[in-house]
Homo-oligomer: A and B are copies of this chain.
């Protein structure tokens, strides 16, 4: 999981200070969520984590949901940057590109932050519309990035077929989080699993192309 960054501001120094403060609060919220789960994500825990008062947190985020949505927005932005980077990087060899993309997602999923953050959000998505929207947006972006690479590998595949293949890849990679993620029981076999996913996916694509 990428580090949260400050957003560009252009309304003077005041706005800049505010952005710093908001960023610190959002970072603290993310840290608490990862450390203690959504259960432990309280306004007080956030306040303590960035050494300000509770009143100060509620000044910037009157509702807890406001803070949560801001957190989602910023995490989404960071992943979007990454997915756009992936999409922009059209290599000579699209197969290598796919391989590198899969390896990137695997290395991300091996971090403590991602291993904890995403299952938390998947669960939250079942009860919190804001979380559901976040999950939807981030995986639409991921699948789009995957789909473009698949399309370059096998240009004659239908858009629809590419979509289902991108879903397969996304589900396969994300599904490894619970098993080979940070400190998970099969974490030591993460690289093997990664290799298997890379090799299998290329085969699955070739098979789909051969059928079409």
Partner of A168, one of B135, B167, B197: B197
- Distance A179 CA – B140 CA, assembled complex (angstroms): 10
Residues of chain B contacted by A158 (CB below 8 angstroms):
none
Any B CB within 8 A of the CB of A88: no
How many chain copies?
2
CB pair A193–B167 under 8 Å, yes or no, is yes
Interface size bucket, A side? 35 or more
Which of the segments A90-98, A122-130, A145-153 contacts the partner chain? A122-130
Q: How far is the CB of A203 from chain B (nearest CB, A)?
A: 6
Instruction: Give A119-164 interface residues, CB cut-off 8 Å to B.
Output: 119-120, 122-127, 135-136, 139, 164
Interface residues of A (CB under 8 A from B): 36-40, 115-116, 119-120, 122-127, 135-136, 139, 164-165, 167-168, 170-180, 185-186, 189, 192-193, 196-197, 199-200, 203-204, 207
